[in-house]
Amino acid sequence: GSHSQLEDTAPRIVEHPTDLLVSKGEPATLSCKAEGRPAPAVEWYKDGERVETDRDDPRSHRTLLPGGSLFFLRILHGRRGKPDEGVYVCVARNYLGEATSRNASLEVAGE
Query: DSSP for 11-40?
Result: EEEEE----EEE-TT--EEE--EEEEESPP
Please give the Cα distance from 95 to 85 (Å, whole number).
31
Torsion of CA 35, 39, 45, 50, to 10 degrees: 180
Domain segments of the chain as ranges: 9-108
* Tens-digit pLDDT profile for residues 33-55: 999 999 999 999 999 999 999 98
Please give the pLDDT value at position 6.
79
- Four-way CATH pick for 9-108: 3.40.50.12280, 1.50.10.10, 3.40.50.300, 2.60.40.10: 2.60.40.10
* Tens-digit pLDDT profile for residues 54-107: 989 999 999 999 999 999 999 998 888 889 999 999 999 999 999 999 999 999
Q: 86's torsion region: left (phi>0), alpha (psi -120 to 50) or beta?
A: left
Please give the Cα distance from 84 to 86 (Å, whole number).
6
Mean pLDDT of 17-40: 97
